[in-house]
Structure 1
Protein backbone atom coordinates (compact mmCIF):
# COMPACT_ATOMS: atom_id res chain seq x y z
CA UNK A 1 0.00 0.00 0.00
CA UNK A 2 1.45 3.35 -0.97
CA UNK A 3 1.09 6.66 0.86
CA UNK A 4 -1.71 7.93 -1.36
CA UNK A 5 -3.98 5.00 -0.60
CA UNK A 6 -3.13 5.18 3.10
CA UNK A 7 -3.89 8.88 3.44
CA UNK A 8 -7.03 8.62 1.30
CA UNK A 9 -8.33 5.78 3.49
CA UNK A 10 -7.42 7.74 6.62
CA UNK A 11 -9.26 10.80 5.27
CA UNK A 12 -12.34 8.72 4.50
CA UNK A 13 -12.26 7.12 7.94
CA UNK A 14 -12.02 10.48 9.68
CA UNK A 15 -14.88 11.83 7.56
CA UNK A 16 -17.03 8.81 8.49
CA UNK A 17 -16.22 9.46 12.17
CA UNK A 18 -17.36 13.08 11.79
CA UNK A 19 -20.60 12.08 10.05
CA UNK A 20 -21.38 9.44 12.68
CA UNK A 21 -20.73 11.80 15.59
CA UNK A 22 -22.83 14.71 14.29
CA UNK A 23 -26.22 13.54 15.68
CA UNK A 24 -24.89 12.90 19.18
CA UNK A 25 -22.87 16.12 19.33
CA UNK A 26 -25.83 18.13 18.05
CA UNK A 27 -28.09 16.66 20.74
CA UNK A 28 -25.53 17.48 23.42
CA UNK A 29 -25.13 21.03 22.09
CA UNK A 30 -28.84 21.76 21.87
CA UNK A 31 -29.56 20.24 25.28
CA UNK A 32 -26.66 22.15 26.82
CA UNK A 33 -27.92 25.42 25.36
CA UNK A 34 -31.48 24.83 26.57
CA UNK A 35 -30.37 23.85 30.07
CA UNK A 36 -27.91 26.75 30.20
CA UNK A 37 -30.64 29.17 29.19
CA UNK A 38 -32.96 27.68 31.80
CA UNK A 39 -30.26 28.02 34.47
CA UNK A 40 -29.56 31.61 33.48
CA UNK A 41 -33.24 32.52 33.60
CA UNK A 42 -33.93 30.86 36.95
CA UNK A 43 -30.52 31.39 38.64
CA UNK A 44 -30.34 27.68 39.49
CA UNK A 45 -26.71 26.52 39.39
CA UNK A 46 -27.03 22.80 40.01
CA UNK A 47 -24.40 20.56 38.35
CA UNK A 48 -26.73 17.59 37.97
CA UNK A 49 -29.18 19.80 36.10
CA UNK A 50 -26.66 20.09 33.27
CA UNK A 51 -25.43 16.50 33.34
CA UNK A 52 -28.60 14.40 33.56
CA UNK A 53 -30.62 15.99 30.70
CA UNK A 54 -27.59 16.00 28.45
CA UNK A 55 -26.90 12.34 29.19
CA UNK A 56 -30.54 11.45 28.57
CA UNK A 57 -30.60 13.31 25.25
CA UNK A 58 -27.38 11.66 24.13
CA UNK A 59 -28.72 8.20 25.00
CA UNK A 60 -31.98 8.83 23.13
CA UNK A 61 -30.23 10.14 20.03
CA UNK A 62 -27.70 7.32 20.15
CA UNK A 63 -30.50 4.75 20.36
CA UNK A 64 -32.34 6.41 17.46
CA UNK A 65 -29.27 6.68 15.23
CA UNK A 66 -27.64 3.29 15.92
CA UNK A 67 -28.95 1.88 12.64
CA UNK A 68 -27.51 4.78 10.65
CA UNK A 69 -24.17 4.53 12.43
CA UNK A 70 -23.94 0.77 11.94
CA UNK A 71 -24.91 1.00 8.28
CA UNK A 72 -22.37 3.76 7.63
CA UNK A 73 -19.50 1.94 9.33
CA UNK A 74 -20.38 -1.39 7.72
CA UNK A 75 -20.56 0.20 4.29
CA UNK A 76 -17.16 1.87 4.78
CA UNK A 77 -15.66 -1.40 5.97
CA UNK A 78 -17.08 -3.42 3.07
CA UNK A 79 -16.31 -0.92 0.30
CA UNK A 80 -12.93 0.37 1.49
CA UNK A 81 -11.20 -1.70 4.15
CA UNK A 82 -12.00 -5.23 2.96
CA UNK A 83 -10.78 -4.58 -0.63
CA UNK A 84 -7.55 -3.14 0.77
CA UNK A 85 -7.02 -6.20 2.94
CA UNK A 86 -7.91 -8.62 0.15
CA UNK A 87 -5.81 -6.79 -2.43
CA UNK A 88 -2.78 -6.35 -0.25
Structure 2
Protein backbone atom coordinates (compact mmCIF):
# COMPACT_ATOMS: atom_id res chain seq x y z
CA UNK A 1 0.00 0.00 0.00
CA UNK A 2 1.42 3.34 -1.00
CA UNK A 3 1.17 6.53 0.99
CA UNK A 4 -1.27 7.94 -1.56
CA UNK A 5 -3.73 5.08 -1.09
CA UNK A 6 -3.42 5.31 2.69
CA UNK A 7 -4.01 9.05 2.87
CA UNK A 8 -6.80 8.98 0.29
CA UNK A 9 -8.60 6.22 2.20
CA UNK A 10 -8.13 8.16 5.44
CA UNK A 11 -9.49 11.30 3.80
CA UNK A 12 -12.53 9.44 2.50
CA UNK A 13 -13.15 7.86 5.89
CA UNK A 14 -13.02 11.22 7.64
CA UNK A 15 -15.36 12.75 5.07
CA UNK A 16 -17.84 9.91 5.54
CA UNK A 17 -17.65 10.43 9.31
CA UNK A 18 -18.54 14.09 8.79
CA UNK A 19 -21.41 13.23 6.45
CA UNK A 20 -22.84 10.67 8.85
CA UNK A 21 -22.62 12.88 11.93
CA UNK A 22 -23.92 16.04 10.26
CA UNK A 23 -27.67 15.35 10.55
CA UNK A 24 -27.55 14.57 14.28
CA UNK A 25 -25.23 17.47 15.05
CA UNK A 26 -27.46 19.84 13.07
CA UNK A 27 -30.52 18.64 15.01
CA UNK A 28 -28.70 19.17 18.31
CA UNK A 29 -27.58 22.65 17.22
CA UNK A 30 -31.01 23.80 16.08
CA UNK A 31 -32.73 22.35 19.15
CA UNK A 32 -30.12 23.87 21.47
CA UNK A 33 -30.46 27.32 19.92
CA UNK A 34 -34.26 27.17 20.09
CA UNK A 35 -34.28 26.03 23.72
CA UNK A 36 -31.62 28.59 24.62
CA UNK A 37 -33.71 31.35 23.07
CA UNK A 38 -36.76 30.10 24.95
CA UNK A 39 -34.79 30.08 28.22
CA UNK A 40 -33.46 33.57 27.62
CA UNK A 41 -36.93 34.91 26.88
CA UNK A 42 -38.60 33.27 29.89
CA UNK A 43 -35.67 33.37 32.36
CA UNK A 44 -36.08 29.66 33.06
CA UNK A 45 -32.68 28.15 33.88
CA UNK A 46 -33.35 24.44 34.07
CA UNK A 47 -30.58 22.09 32.87
CA UNK A 48 -32.91 19.26 31.94
CA UNK A 49 -34.84 21.64 29.68
CA UNK A 50 -31.86 21.71 27.30
CA UNK A 51 -30.74 18.09 27.64
CA UNK A 52 -33.99 16.18 27.13
CA UNK A 53 -35.19 17.94 23.94
CA UNK A 54 -31.72 17.71 22.39
CA UNK A 55 -31.56 14.01 23.16
CA UNK A 56 -35.06 13.46 21.77
CA UNK A 57 -34.29 15.40 18.59
CA UNK A 58 -31.05 13.50 18.06
CA UNK A 59 -32.79 10.16 18.56
CA UNK A 60 -35.51 11.07 16.05
CA UNK A 61 -32.96 12.22 13.48
CA UNK A 62 -30.86 9.12 14.11
CA UNK A 63 -33.88 6.90 13.56
CA UNK A 64 -34.76 8.76 10.35
CA UNK A 65 -31.22 8.61 8.90
CA UNK A 66 -30.20 5.09 9.95
CA UNK A 67 -30.66 3.81 6.39
CA UNK A 68 -28.46 6.55 4.95
CA UNK A 69 -25.77 5.93 7.56
CA UNK A 70 -25.79 2.18 7.00
CA UNK A 71 -25.66 2.48 3.22
CA UNK A 72 -22.82 5.00 3.39
CA UNK A 73 -20.71 2.91 5.74
CA UNK A 74 -21.28 -0.40 3.96
CA UNK A 75 -20.61 1.27 0.62
CA UNK A 76 -17.31 2.66 1.87
CA UNK A 77 -16.35 -0.68 3.36
CA UNK A 78 -17.22 -2.79 0.31
CA UNK A 79 -16.03 -0.33 -2.35
CA UNK A 80 -12.87 0.94 -0.69
CA UNK A 81 -11.63 -1.14 2.24
CA UNK A 82 -12.36 -4.70 1.09
CA UNK A 83 -10.39 -4.30 -2.18
CA UNK A 84 -7.46 -2.83 -0.26
CA UNK A 85 -7.50 -5.68 2.27
CA UNK A 86 -7.95 -8.35 -0.41
CA UNK A 87 -5.32 -6.82 -2.66
CA UNK A 88 -2.56 -6.71 -0.25
What TM bracket, shorter-length normalisation?
over 0.9
Secondary structure at the residue paired with 1:44?
coil
What residue in structure 2 maps to residue 21 of structure 1? 21
1:41 equivalent in alignment to 2:38: no
Deviations 1:47-85 (A, max 9, x none): 000000000000000010000000000000010000001
Residue 2 of structure 1 deviates from its aligned partner by 1.1
How many positions carry a matched residue from both structures?
Answer: 88
Structure 1 unaligned blocks of 5 or more: none
Q: Structure 2: where are the runs of 5+ without partners?
A: none
Q: 2 CA distance for matches of 1:25 and 1:50?
A: 15
Partner of 2:9: 9
TM-score calculated relative to the size of structure 1: 0.99
Q: Which residue of 1 aligns with 2:78?
A: 78
Counterpart in 2 of 1:32?
Answer: 32
Report the equivalent of 1:59: 59
TM-score of the two chains, using structure 2 as the length reference? 0.99
